[in-house]
A and B are shown apart, each in its own frame.
Chain A
Amino acid sequence: MDKLSPLTPVSPRISFKSSLQHLDLEWTVQNLPHHQELKMIFLIEISRIRTSNIIWVGNYSTTVKWNQVIHWSWKSELPLECATHFVRIKSMVDNGMPPELSSWSEWSSWEEVHAQNPLEPNALFVFPKRKLVEEGANVTICSIFGSNLKDIFCYLEGELIHGEQLDSHILTFELSNVPFVRVSGMNFYCVEKPTNITDGIVLFVSKVLEEPKDFSCETRDFKTLSCTWSPGVDTGLGWSMQPSQSYTLVESVSRERKHCEHKNVCNWKITQELQEIYNFTLIAENHLRKRSVNIFFNLTHRVHPLAPYNVSLESIEATQATLRWKVLYHGNRYSLLCQVELEGEGKVIQSNVSVKVSGEEIFSELVPDTEYQACIRCAGAGHFWKWSEWNCQKFSTSEAAPSEALAVWSTVREENGSCIVNLFWKPLSKLHAKGKILHYNIITENLDKPHRVKLYSASGLANDMKLTLDQCAYQINVTASNSAGQSPASVIAISGDSGKEVEEERIQRTEDGFFVSWKPLSADNIIGYVVGWCVRLQDPLCDLQWKNIGPNTTSTVISSDAFRPGIRYDFRVYGISTGRVASLIEKRTGYYRELTPSMNPRVTVKNLTSHSFVLSWTDYSTNDQSGFIQGYHVSLKSKNRQCQPGFEKAVCSDDSVCCKYNIKNPEQKTFTVENLQPESHYEFLVTSYTRVGEGPNGTFTAVTTPDELSYTLVQIILPMIFSVLLIISVCYWKSQWVKEKCYPEIPDPNKSSILSLIKSKENPHLTIMNVKDCIPDALEVINKPESTKAQVMGTEKPFLAESELTAYLYPLQKEHSGPGPWICFENFTYNQSASDAGLCGHIPVPSKDLPWQQGLLTQPDNLLNVLEGNCEQPLREIPAGEASLNYVSQLASPLYGDKDSFSNNPTTTMPEPCSDYKMQMAVPACLASPLPSKESSLSSVVLLDQGEHYH
């Protein structure tokens, strides 16, 4: 060292900071005079890998004292770990002379820097290990590898990149303008194939720290300043490489600083001594950069008042109210300007009030019964910074009496001597109602008897009222009432005069509406006109509308959103006389817009002949259609496609050719189609049409004309059939009479043929006995089974043995014990055996009808024989009143009460029911004898004791 020339840098010591890639040099200068400062220049040379490879040469000037250690630092682009660096220094005194005239010291010896230990043969490293750069920076990455490793492949974010060979074992990679990719950094790694020895680094790229934007401070209460800003992008990175940027607030007047906990707001406490001027600096910083913004302000200019409080409305009346509020007191020198907004009825009224502690605002000219909202906000009066938040209160004004008379109209009709008045009124607008209408008062005053006044009341929701008055000369007053009072009265008068008949005229709607005009009436008597119409025709009250028009106007345009196309509206124009009586003066009718008819007439076919038929649609109403019906089209289709006279060929709705006839009179609702062919097929369709067009496409109706012959035949045969039916009906009706006359069921003896035969052969004087001629006698029926049996045994006929029950019938001879003439009422049921036995004594009645008996019943000749052969005494010889009468009941069972008795004889047939009447006649008593049965039983017969008599 002593050999070195004076002022030669000695003992250079080198160290490095890997994270910053800094090479730090320390040295001293030999032989400096004591207590003397020298201005010196140092020339520094840096070599890489070998001393001869000088990569950097530079001067460093400084003032040097005796024994002073000089520090100097150099930043390497290449990571220091990748290569050995050499440094040497020489110096000279800076005496102001040009360098060539000054003399340099000798070079210090080369100092060598090994940032990395000697590599093993299989080692692979990539540097720098931790690198933090800003977006857009240039970065150099190097890779060093041992002698055994040959094929090194390096990847940035998975993409293979090629580096520069700095040495046989050093590769460098220059990355320029690196982007921010992710918070976990960009991955760079190298791998040796095929050993798969790998090393890599993570290059952390931070986003560029932005300057805070919109930095602003304000106070709300003069106690705290709230500073806010927009922080911009977050520059935080993972792996603890870099946290999010921090913010610091520095106030230069008070020289205080505060670290902000949040990234976009920081509260600064205002000191007790009121500081008016503030100079704030907001510093944002991360590991790579620092950014700051500054604001300077007077505190009173940055006051953002709190919202007014204790806001209240007092003395609320119908048209007036008072608003009161308070604000935070900021001292006598500071006042606020408060803005008051009153919103109601769709309007907003603003006013400003200067306030220190409390304020008041009176609202006048308010609308009664209306909801309002009063809002208030304040700002600094001296210097506007920001309005406070609104504080709003709602209130409603009280009600006032309605200010306007109601618009009233009525319809009047007489019914059963009374006058039915439908009274309508339009609800008052909110402006005029001035409150909720509670009810409507209707006062009727009889014009003929002015003192007869009647009061009606209707609900506040009603718009009409039906009054039944005893006559039609009344004046009606209508008023509306709310809680505060009553409206002026509306007066309307009605009279019984129905007025003159007015003809209805059609009108067309214009763009503005229906134009209705009328002839003016004498202005002296008229105080105005009213046009009335119905909106909803279906309703009973039809939603009556009316429009009041002044006396000097003779036309008006009626428009309404309620008008609909295709609906016919009728307008009535009334003149209002000075007595407020309305009289109809005009009628108008029109469509808002005419449409085609919605339906076609329903047609019936009449008078169908072989050459014509009549179409009729008389029930088709022309008034209820979607337009004024102007006529009808009769379309006719036939096979021969020949049009009848008056018809024109046209294309029908179904695109077929047809013949059309135009009926231009809408009231003509029948039409005769003539000149048709017999036995032909025709189809017709009748459509109505309005000004706009024809009715809907309908289906044709088929008609076939009859042929002429059948027509004629029908004309002849029908009456014939009718006549025959008539005769048959008459015959049927008279059949009972004919039967009575021709073959009655009970023959009249006077008309009997038997009688005529007897008369002719035997006794021409034979007469028929009248019932009244008979002298009734008693009959006694006795059951004498034993004696009679013995008596008749000798004369027993074979059939009698079969009888089980026998009843005896014989006359009781009280007065006429001797034999005398007998008068018999013939009943074949009983007397047939008598005729058979030929006895005039007691003859048992057989239990069944034998064939010969039936023959008797059916053959009058047998009966005749009986009469002729067995009755010796002619009937005519029996004196009336002396003859014994043998009466045989026609209702009682002939003989048998027990049918079981027949079971032993299967050949025995059941007798016919005995209730049938047979022809009755007088027969000789000898024929009327009972015929006893040999096995008759008491229990099975109706037995009458001898003492009992029938009369």
Chain B
Amino acid sequence: MDLRAGDSWGMLACLCTVLWHVPAVPALNRTGDPGPGPSIQKTYDLTRYLEHQLRSLAGTYLNYLGPPFNEPDFNPPRLGAETLPRATVNLEVWRSLNDKLRLTQNYEAYSHLLCYLRGLNRQAATAELRRSLAHFCTSLQGLLGSIAGVMAALGYPLPQPLPGTEPTWAPGPAHSDFLQKMDDFWLLKELQTWLWRSAKDFNRLKKKIQPPAAAVTLHLEAHGF
């Protein structure tokens, strides 16, 4: 798992700008109708930003957990993390996903992951770590809203949570601290995989919906930040 703390102020500034513009996603503001293209692009940018942000957060959090969780080749079984939504999917299956399903899976995954992530905040003993986690949760909430905006722009309904399937965080007596740490480890890993997959999803969606010339333009704009 390649979760190394890195920092790039340029990237941060770029993506903060994206976040700033999240409320202005046309899909959410139905005043104009520029199509779903810009909101898909911004959602894509947001996933890239969150990837970067998570790299820094995961580094800090895994160091907090201590070895072996911060060792690069540590690969424990999932155990309690089985309930986490899996980002890994067969390539053919992934290709065959239609837009609605693709977006729905993303939305559902981040809804669950956000909930688990909030539980992570309770374990943190240092104020600094709690602040970082809270900041990331806010960003992830923004991504969720952005995906919802894209779905709305495309006319897809938001998935309704099934009763009784609300994800819970229950580190009870049966759940040892070590297994809890393993779950945290898997949560961060799965989150990273999901962000990577989402970038692919939104890139695919972007190319599919936008004409090639517009895609080139948007690509250049993204580089221009």
Contacts and interface: CB of A to CB of B under 8 A. Distances in A.
Nearest to A182: B66
A752 B4 CA distance: 130
A202 B176 contact: yes
Interface string B67-90: 111010001110100000000000
Interface string A188-202: 110100001111111
Interface in A124-159: 126, 129-130, 155, 157-159
Nearest to A237: B125
A158 B181 CA distance: 14
A188 B68 CA distance: 9
A239 B67 contact: no
A189 B68 contact: yes
A130 B71 contact: no
Contacts of A129: 176-178
Contacts of B76: 191, 196, 198
B123 interface: yes
Nearest to A197: B77
Contacts, number: 73
B64 interface: yes
Nearest to A199: B178
Contacts of A184: 64-66, 123, 125, 181
A159 B66 CA distance: 12
Contacts of A236: 125
B65 to A, nearest CB: 6
B174 to A, nearest CB: 9
Contacts of B178: 126, 129, 187-189, 199-202
Nearest to A200: B178
Interface of B is mostly: loop
Interface string A159-201: 1000000000000000000000111111111010000111111
Nearest to A195: B77
A238 B66 contact: no
Interface residues of B, number: 23
B41 interface: no
B177 A130 contact: yes
Interface in A191-219: 191, 196-202, 204
Nearest to A186: B66
Contacts of A159: 67
Nearest to A125: B176
Contact of B66 (A130, A185, A197, A241): A185
Given A236-B125, A238-B123, A238-B124, A187 B67 contact: yes
Contacts of A126: 178
A380 B181 CA distance: 58
B177 A201 contact: yes
B194 to A, nearest CB: 23
B70 to A, nearest CB: 9
Interface string B105-139: 00000000000000000011110000000000000
B180 interface: yes
A157 B177 contact: no
B133 to A, nearest CB: 13
Contacts of B79: 198
Contacts of A202: 176-178, 181
Interface string B172-205: 0000111111100000000000000000000000
B175 to A, nearest CB: 9
Given A197-B77, A202-B178, A202-B181, A183 B69 contact: no
A198 to B, nearest CB: 5
Contact of B67 (A157, A191, A198, A237): A157
A237 B177 CA distance: 13
Interface in B152-181: 171, 176-181
A183 B178 CA distance: 14
A130 B171 CA distance: 12
Contact of A239 (B68, B69, B123): B123
Contacts of B66: 157, 181-182, 184-187
Contacts of B124: 238
B68 A187 contact: yes
A126 B66 CA distance: 18
Given A198-B77, A238-B125, A239-B123, A182 B177 contact: no
Given A183-B126, A185-B66, A202-B176, 16 more contacts: A126-B178, A129-B176, A129-B177, A155-B68, A159-B67, A181-B66, A182-B64, A182-B66, A187-B66, A188-B178, A189-B68, A196-B75, A198-B79, A201-B177, A202-B177, A238-B123
9 tightest A-B CB contacts, nearest first: A158-B67, A238-B125, A200-B178, A202-B177, A183-B125, A129-B176, A158-B68, A198-B76, A157-B67
Interface of A: 126, 129-130, 155, 157-159, 181-189, 191, 196-202, 204, 236-239, 241
26 contacts: A126-B178, A157-B67, A158-B68, A158-B71, A159-B67, A181-B66, A182-B66, A184-B65, A184-B125, A187-B68, A187-B69, A187-B181, A188-B178, A191-B76, A196-B77, A197-B77, A198-B76, A198-B77, A198-B79, A198-B182, A199-B179, A200-B178, A200-B182, A201-B176, A238-B125, A239-B171
